[in-house]
Structure 1
């Protein structure tokens, strides 16, 4: 791939038409290479987005499962606390 600074340096004192045409071709090659790299980057970006979306979905499912388990545990604790309070109340109430 031709570096732009090389192209500029080659053009500074050029009177040769064929050299100018070569520089133009080099510029076109560089532009084509940039487009290819941009397309490759877009492709990789899409792959990464897809992978991340899949990972996020998996984490979301895992989080929902853990959230449901935590809710069940909290319900059990709440029910046990209520039962303990009712037993304590039954022991302290006059008969």
Structure 2
């Protein structure tokens, strides 16, 4: 019996458009889990290039990895700088409204 080789799923490979990135980030926000949001931001940063995103956010690469690690509690201004570096913004809508 031969073993089947599988590759680990990497969302960053599929984040190849602004629309896909926005949908992915919105899905993470729907989870209402800060670790899910940080994981999504990490995947997007990987898709865009970790070093480039870190530089644009004013962070070192190692700081970026630490900021996005599970269980971290980054400051809100750091998250906002990261989102700006990724080219996305957050928009609020009433909780009862479906996202368009």
- TM-score, normalised to structure 1, is 0.21
Q: Which has the larger radius of gyration?
A: 1
Q: Which has the higher helix share?
A: 1
- TM-score of the two chains, using structure 2 as the length reference: 0.20
